[in-house]
Amino acid sequence: MPCLESTLHIRCQDYMQKGSAKWLYSGTYTMSDGGQWIYGSMIISSRFNKMTILGSHIYFFAFVPAINIYRDKFGVVLLDGTYKTNRYGLPLLNIIGTTAMNTTIHIANVFIRQEEQQDYVWALQQLQNLISRHDIQLLQVFYSDAELVLINVVEVIFPGIPHLLCIWHIIKNVETHARKNTFRQIRDDEATFRVEGYHSTLKKWLFTSGGDLLTIHSRIRHWWVLSTNKYWAEKAIDETRVINRLRKPIYDAVNTVRRCE
C-alpha cells in the first residue's frame, strides 16, 4: 500500500492543478517512516474549493512515541472537537490525555465529516484499535462536553467506562435556568482548561484556518514531535530534582532502603 502522506500530497497537487481529486483507502495501517505514525482510512471526493464527502470517516492519525508516553498514565481521555482548522470546514476531533507529570499528551486527531453518530463511531473504533494494538490497559474515565451524540457513542464503544462532563459545561447548562451569578464562586475545572489550552496551542501552530489537509497534517506532526521531545527533557530534569531532594537528612531512612534494593 502506498505511503498515505505522499498520496495525500499528490492528490493535493491534483486538486490545485486540475481542480478535482478522488481517493479511497480503508483500514488502519502504519506509515513507512520508522513506524512512528499510524493512519486511518478516508473516503473523499473534492471539486475545486468545495468538498463533497462520500464517506463518514475521513482521516485518523496518531504519533506512536506519544502513545508510549500515555501508556504510563492511561486513566483519562478527553474528547472535544474544534472548527476553523482547514479550508474544507471539516471538524477536527481532538483525543488527548494526561501524563504522569500532569501535562497534556496527544493521543490522536481525527478529521470527520460532521459531528454525527457514524463519524464518532468510526473515530472511537480507531481509538479502540489503537489502545488494543499498543497494550494500553482499560481506561478509567472519559471527559467531554455535553454533546449527546458523542456521549452515546462512548457508551457503546467503551461500555462500562464512566463518562464525565466538564464542570464548565454543566455550569453553562444550569445558568440557562438560573441566575448567572449563582456559580461565580466555582472556577472552571482542570479538564476544561486542558482542552481549551490544547485548542489554543493547536490553532497557533496551524497559523491559518484555510490550509489543505497536507499542510495541516504537516504542522500538527511538527508540533507533536517537539512536544514529545520536550516531555522527555522535562521528565529528566524532574527526576534529577527528586534525587536531590532525597539527599536531605529527613530522607536518610528512604535512601537506606534504596541502597539495600
Predicted TM-score (pTM) of the model is: 0.68
Side chain identity at 27, as an amino acid letter? Answer: G
Residue 240's pLDDT is: 61
Domain span at 245 = 4-260
Taking all residues of the chain, what is their mean pLDDT, rounded to a whole number? 68
What is the count of structural domains for the chain? 1
Contacts of 29 (CB under 8 A, 6+ apart): 1, 4, 38, 39
- Average pLDDT value for residue range 28-52: 47
Residue 19's pLDDT is: 35
Residue 225's pLDDT is: 85
Contacts of 195 (CB under 8 A, 6+ apart): 78, 80, 94, 96, 143, 166
Integer Cα distance of 16 and 49 in angstroms: 9
DSSP letter (8 states) at residue 181: G
Integer Cα distance of 146 and 248 in angstroms: 49
- Residue 33: CB atoms within 10 A of its CB come to 10
Residue 25's pLDDT is: 33
Per-residue pLDDT of 157-194, as tens digits, reads 988 888 887 776 677 777 777 665 555 555 545 555 56
Per-residue pLDDT of 120-135, as tens digits, reads 888 888 888 888 888 8
What pLDDT band is residue 44 in, cutting at 50, 70 and 90? very low
Integer Cα distance of 53 and 72 in angstroms: 37
Residue 217's pLDDT is: 76
Per-residue pLDDT of 104-119, as tens digits, reads 888 888 888 778 888 8
- DSSP per position, 63-89: EHHHHHHHGGG-SEEEEEEE--SSTT-
Per-residue pLDDT of 61-85, as tens digits, reads 888 888 888 887 767 888 888 888 8
C-beta pairs of 152-160 under 8 Å, 24+ apart in sequence: 152/117, 153/117, 153/120, 153/121, 153/124, 154/79, 154/124, 156/121, 157/121, 157/124, 157/125, 157/127, 157/128, 158/124, 158/128
Q: Is the pLDDT of residue 37 over 80?
A: no
Residue 137's pLDDT is: 77
Report the largest interatomic distance among the alpha carbons of the chain, rounded to a whole angstrom: 73
CB burial of residue 170 (10 Å; 0-12, 13-18, 19+): middle
